[in-house]
Structure 1
Amino acid sequence: MTLAAIWREVWRDVVSGTSRTLTFALILAAVVLGLGATDIVTVRALTAAAERFQAAGASIITLDAPGRIDPAACSALASVSGVRAAGAIRAGAESLTPLALPSSTIPVIEVTPSLPEVLRTQIGSAGVILSEQAAQTLTVRPGSELQTSETTATVAGVYGYPEDGRRPGLGFAALVPTTDGEAFDECWVDIWPTSPQTPALLQTTLLPDDETGAGQSPTLTQLNSTLGTAFDGRSRFDARVTRLAPWGVLGIGVGLGHLSVRLRRVPLASALHAGTTRQDLGAVVMLETLSWALPATLLAAVAIVVATTLGGDLDARHTVVLGSRTAVAGMAGPLLGSVLGFVLTRERHLFRYFKDR
């Protein structure tokens, strides 16, 4: 058969419905889209859980050692791989008494300049950093002037510290950055992903006992433990059931491809009996399989990409890759199945195929 003859044969089979193109295309598209979307939804749920873990401050580990924290060593931890931010804090000697609320005081907490980054707060200028609760009470915002009984301070920023399970103390407070070089009481480190090396890392910020005379054993705690002590995203990702989605699509695709050929064993065996070469007939089978496998896979792949990029995913590029794996399996499965079905089709079995119809 010439190439033109092969294309004509494929076209006739597709248009006449002999190859059941529409039926197999719809089934394959549903399988690829369903399993691919399920895997993406699962990964998105893991990503959202990781974001909730960090947003709640669960990724922040604190080392409490009154009078024994080296502020420079603590801030320098931010340069360590995996550490998003690090800073030290200590209780201030005095409180702020705002003129707007003369009967109330705001506890002052002295911090290293890098501590606001641990609380995911941007500072626009020098000054005090108020908690959201304190800022709302005083009706001020970043850049406002805060009148106190002692002086006038600029509100450099406002940090969030909700009551979501994190330890109390900073919900209604004013942070005052300082670089005096004196020892601090705590070192805070926001480390992601969580690491078993964090305790040893924080121990490097301790000053010797003989320099301070503190004598208290350091205490390592998690700022918010309500979501668990650690988040092992890699293990959860590797253990998800939907990781087998590409293999499931591949297996179903092989089955569909084999079935598409098996349903046409009689005409295929008849064509071989009439003198059509296996090479020419194999080309027809492959092209007819492509006629439903290719559009079905492309349709499902486009739907997955669009849903991923428009869904606000935090890591869209990687989830698109996951969806592409499923789409590739959806393309390869039918081709493998049709090859298998065609290889098992024999001319000498024509009468048996005819009787088994």
Structure 2
Amino acid sequence: MTGTTRFALLGILSAVVFASLVLLDALTTSGLVASAERFRSSGAATEILVAEGRVDGAACEALAGVPGVTASGALRSSARKITIATLPDAPVPAHEVSPGFSAVVSDRAGSPSGVLLPRELADMIRAGLGDEVATDAGPMRVAEVFDYPSDGRRPGFGYAILSVGSALGSYDECWATAWPQLPNLRTLLLATMSPSAGDGADKPQIMQLNSSQGASFEGNASFTDRLTRAAAPAAAVIAAGIGFAGVRMRRLQHTSALHAGLRKGDLLALGLLEAGGWAAAAGVIGVGAAAVGASMVERGDQFAVFASLVGIPLAGVAGALIGTAVAAAAMSEKHLFRYFKDR
């Protein structure tokens, strides 16, 4: 209450340090998370096996059950184009896909029957999820509307109709998305091929749906090598300096108490009790800053980011106590008169 311990000064100073380091690391981490999401949502994490008429649709669909593979589906093209009643002069290319294909191009699996429309085409004909579209092949129900912008993705599917069919039979392509990326995804894709019909068959090709973001996303390396990875050690060192300075500022008082008969262990205990008060208060503010920082990312990543950030204020609290303990242990009654003269 009298301000002897400089509780407000040391607490505010530590809180500013903790919160600043937490938010700085949060901004860096959220940037990496955003880059990862941009890589995934652009289709860069999707690999495509092209082997005309030699892809086993059921085997391709089964890839979605492999750990790490988030979605898979097969596709085969049709030479016939479909004419939509509201676009009579612009026939639309048609493709048939297996039921799991919807999860590859969209974040949610659509209905097992119907057609998948790219958003650009759906907006042109003003069709939405569940609507029926009149075509020369009969009415078609929209099972899913997916985004397929011109951002480097493989062309040809921004203006097309994808009809959901059976997983059985032979297909031309197998699309699979793995997140995080799997180094053996291409091997898994090749395993979906049916035996070749002959030696003259074209060699299968594997390509990335969108190569504009690079072949791979080195998220673990980027996170490990980020400049703010030293935020927790920095918080501990700075807080240790603050704790050490907080004791040294009262060195005359402490040595006087020792001269008057206070035991060294009691001095250490009192110092830790006082430092624990202002350091814990600063730590709570730091934890609050960690919660704010975690809210910068998508909900699915918030807990992991919070767990990473909360270590910064906790390291700071530990550093403050260590710095206080070292300074208190260094106090000696024999320094009393020198401290008095220095004052």
TM-score, normalization by structure 2: 0.94
Cα distance in 1 for residues equivalent to 2:293 and 2:167: 52
Instruction: Note the C-alpha offset of 1:269.
Output: 0.9
Q: Determine the structure 2 residue equivalent to 1:273.
A: 259
Number of aligned residue pairs: 342
AA of the residue aligned to 2:126: T
Aligned partners of 1:285 and 1:182: how far apart in 2?
A: 76
The structure 2 residue matched to 1:59, chosen from 21, 45, 50, is 45
2:191 matched to which residue of 1?
204
Alignment partners' CA distance in 1, 2:273 and 2:204: 71
Report the CA distance shift for 1:311/1:160 in structure 2 as closer, same or farther (over 3 A): closer
- On the 8 A contact 1:71/1:183 being kept in 2, the answer is yes
Q: Are residues 1:102 and 2:88 paired?
A: yes
1:299 aligns with 2:285: yes
What's the CA shift string for 1:233-252, capped at 9, x where partnerless? 12222222212211111111
Could you say if the C-alpha distance between residues 247 and 333 of structure 1 is closer, same or farther in structure 2, counting changes exceeding 3 Å?
A: same
Match status 1:77 vs 2:63: yes
Show the counterpart of 2:127: 140
Shift of 1:101: 2.1
Distance 2:72 2:112 in 1: 20
Per the alignment, residue 47 of structure 1 pairs with 33
User: Which residue identity lines up with residue 164 of structure 2 in the other structure?
Assistant: P
Q: Which residue of 1 aligns with 2:307?
A: 321
Larger Cα-atom Rg? 1
Pair 1:183 & 2:170 matched: yes
Separation in 2 of the partners of 1:244 and 1:69? 49
1:274 CA drift (Å)? 1.4
Change (3 A) 1:339 1:285: same
TM-score w.r.t. length of structure 1: 0.90
Is residue 67–residue 212 contact of structure 1 (8 Å, CA) maintained in 2?
no
Whether the 8 Å contact between 2:22 and 2:309 is mirrored in structure 1 is yes
Q: Displacement of 1:122 after TM fit? A: 3.7
Amino acid at match of 1:155: V
| Cα distance between partner residues in 2 of 1:136 and 1:148 | 16
Q: Which amino acid is 2:302 matched to?
A: A
3-state secondary structure, aligned to 1:108: strand
Q: CA RMSD in A?
A: 1.9
CA distance in 1, matches of 2:309, 2:79: 57
The Cα shift of 1:307 comes to: 4.8
Residues 99, 112 of structure 2: 8 Å contact kept: no
Q: Which residue of 2 aligns with 1:119?
A: 105
Q: 2:148 is paired with a residue of what secondary structure? A: coil
Shift of 1:185: 1.2
CA contact (8 A) 1:44 1:313 kept: no
SS in 1 for 2:232: helix
**Amino acid paired to 2:76:** R
**Where do 1:1-20 residues align within 5 Å?**
15-20=1-6
The verdict on how the C-alpha distance between 1:68 and 1:53 changes in structure 2, with shifts beyond 3 A counting, is: same
Return the letter of the residue paired with 1:22. Answer: A
- The aligned counterpart of 2:24 is 38
* 1:281, distance to aligned residue in structure 2 (A): 2.2
Moved more, 285-294 or 229-238: 285-294
Q: Distance in 2 between matches of 1:65 and 1:94?
A: 20
| Equivalent pair of 2:25/2:228 in contact (CA under 8 Å) | yes
Q: Secondary structure at the match of 2:28?
A: helix
Task: Find the counterpart in structure 2 of residue 172 from structure 1.
Answer: 159
Q: 2:221 maps to what in 1?
A: 235
Q: 2:168, 2:309 → 1: CA distance?
A: 52
CA distance in 2, matches of 1:222, 1:146: 31
SS of corresponding position for 1:105: strand
SS at match of 1:104: strand
**Bigger shift: 212-221 or 182-191?**
212-221
CA distance in 2, matches of 1:107, 1:160: 17
For the pair 1:252 / 2:238, whether they are aligned, the reply is yes
Q: Which of 312, 320, 324 in structure 2 is aligned with 1:338?
A: 324
The match for 1:153 among 140, 157, 165 is 140
- 180 and 270 in structure 1: CA distance in 2 versus 1, 3 angstrom threshold: closer
1:223-267 residue CA offsets vs partner (Å, 9 max, x unmatched): 011111111212222222212211111111111111111111112
